């Protein structure tokens, strides 16, 4: 088995790339070191303990075909498109040292004209007339005998879309997860106009080879060339699942209220791992029965539009004379939880 490896993904699917990252990290020997370079198309990547409904505009993401991907590490939510390059450095202990991987990134960028520096919050920055500007964020993961450092490099990301997806509408959520720290960012094409993914990858590979003073062949990874990745199908199924990307959300409470022609509704949802554990509904409707039945029907449903629809359908079957009222309630609620 090779001691030093360079892997270059030919896929832009975030679920594929994060699955590859995790499998390589878990299966590598403790005396190996790996550089994995990859790129995701139109994705919001959230930290392991984050709440997607708090961090993201999930309805806008669904409309625009933007994927949600939960990573194994902590930290904040970030938007990825093809103007962004991702890197992962893996190594066994005691060799694993995030200051070494950080320096390799800085050396690589310096070779193409970007003079960056590291800051205390796991970021890489440059300074311009507007001050200190972030172009790279990192997160880390360690086990007993190995560790990895992964991060992003903003080259030409569409900043307007970044703001669209990462500025959620106010929702009365008391989240027990982690809220992203928002920082001023910069694309490196303002410094190196022709920068692109290949240029960054070539520079990173050269800096990596130079640091370890060895010639290393590049291994190309793709969905068609994943047969040698142990248990890949199972890992990919988990990485792409609703249960992992949404259902792994820490417990939170969502409070909603609205007034309809037939009465007002106050709704409190306790959600754990994306499942509604308890729903408390209050209403001044003249006949509260359908609202009370709806509160009961919400229990154990997923915190999704489909979950709301299932509960509404179940209540309509019990009290069909209130179908119009219940459908109005369901349409409003479905729009609120996206």
Contact 112, 192 (CB under 8 A): yes
Please check the confidence at residue 304 and state whether its pLDDT lies above 90.
Answer: no
Same fold, 4-245 and 252-337: no
* Ranges of each domain in the chain: 4-245, 252-337
To which residue do tokens 């509260």 refer?
288
Strand, helix or coil at 179? coil
Q: Is the four-CA dihedral 73, 124, 175, 45 of positive or negative sign?
A: negative
pLDDT for res 109: 97
Confidence of residue 268 (pLDDT cuts 50, 70, 90): confident
Instruction: Determine phi and psi for 273, rounding to 5 degrees.
Output: 55, 40
What tokens were used for 88?
């992962």
Place domain 252-337 in its CATH homologous superfamily: CO dehydrogenase flavoprotein, C-terminal domain (3.30.390.50)
Q: Which fold has domain 4-245?
A: BirA Bifunctional Protein; domain 2 (3.30.930)
Region class of 113: left (phi > 0), else alpha (psi between -120 and 50), else beta = left
Q: pLDDT, tens digit, for every residue of 172-199? A: 334 434 444 344 789 999 999 999 999 9
Mean pLDDT of 57-78: 87
Q: pLDDT, tens digit, for every residue of 17-43? A: 999 999 999 999 888 999 999 999 999
In what side-by-side order are the strands of the sheet with 172-175? 172-175, 252-260, 263-272, 275-283
Identify the bridge partners of residue 85 per DSSP, sorted by sequence position: 153
CA dist 337 and 106 (Å) reads: 41
Report if pTM > 0.85. no
CA dist 335 and 338 (Å) reads: 6
Q: pLDDT, tens digit, for every residue of 132-144? A: 889 998 888 888 9
Confidence of residue 16 (pLDDT cuts 50, 70, 90): very high
pLDDT for res 180: 46
Determine what percent of the chain is predicted with pLDDT higher than 70.
94
């Amino acid at each position: 088995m090779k001691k030093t490896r360079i892997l270059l993904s030919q896929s832009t699917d975030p679920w594929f790339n994060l699955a590859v990252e995790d499998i390589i990290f878990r299966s590598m020997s403790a005396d190996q070191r790996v550089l994995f370079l990859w790129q995701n198309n139109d994705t919001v990547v959230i930290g392991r303990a984050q709440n997607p409904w708090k961090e993201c505009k999930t309805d806008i993401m669904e409309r625009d075909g933007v994927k949600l991907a939960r990573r194994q590490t902590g930290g904040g939510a970030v938007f990825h498109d093809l103007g962004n390059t991702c890197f992962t450095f893996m190594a066994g202990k005691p060799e694993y040292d995030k200051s070494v991987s950080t320096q390799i990134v800085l050396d690589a960028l310096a070779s193409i004209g970007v003079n960056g520096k590291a800051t205390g919050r796991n970021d890489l920055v440059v300074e311009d007339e507007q001050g200190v500007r972030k172009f790279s964020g990192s997160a880390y993961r360690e086990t007993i005998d190995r560790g990895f450092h992964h991060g992003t490099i903003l080259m030409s990301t569409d900043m307007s879309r970044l703001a669209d997806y990462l500025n959620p509408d106010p929702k009365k959520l008391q989240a027990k997860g982690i809220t992203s720290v928002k920082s001023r960012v910069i694309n490196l094409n303002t410094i190196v106009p022709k920068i692109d993914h290949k240029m960054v990858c070539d520079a990173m590979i050269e800096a990596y080879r130079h640091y370890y003073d060895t010639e290393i062949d590049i291994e190309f990874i793709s969905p068609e060339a994943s047969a040698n990745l142990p248990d890949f199908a199972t890992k990919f199924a988990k990485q792409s699942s609703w249960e992992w990307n949404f259902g792994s959300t820490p417990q939170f409470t969502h409070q909603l209220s609205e007034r309809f022609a037939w009465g007002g509704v106050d709704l409190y949802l306790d959600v754990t791992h994306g499942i509604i554990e308890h729903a408390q509904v209050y209403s001044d409707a003249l006949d509260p029965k359908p609202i009370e039945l709806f509160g009961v029907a919400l229990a154990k449903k997923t915190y999704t539009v489909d979950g709301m629809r299932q509960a509404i359908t179940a209540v309509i079957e019990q009290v069909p004379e209130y179908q119009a009222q219940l459908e109005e309630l369901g349409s409003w609620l479905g729009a609120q939880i996206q």
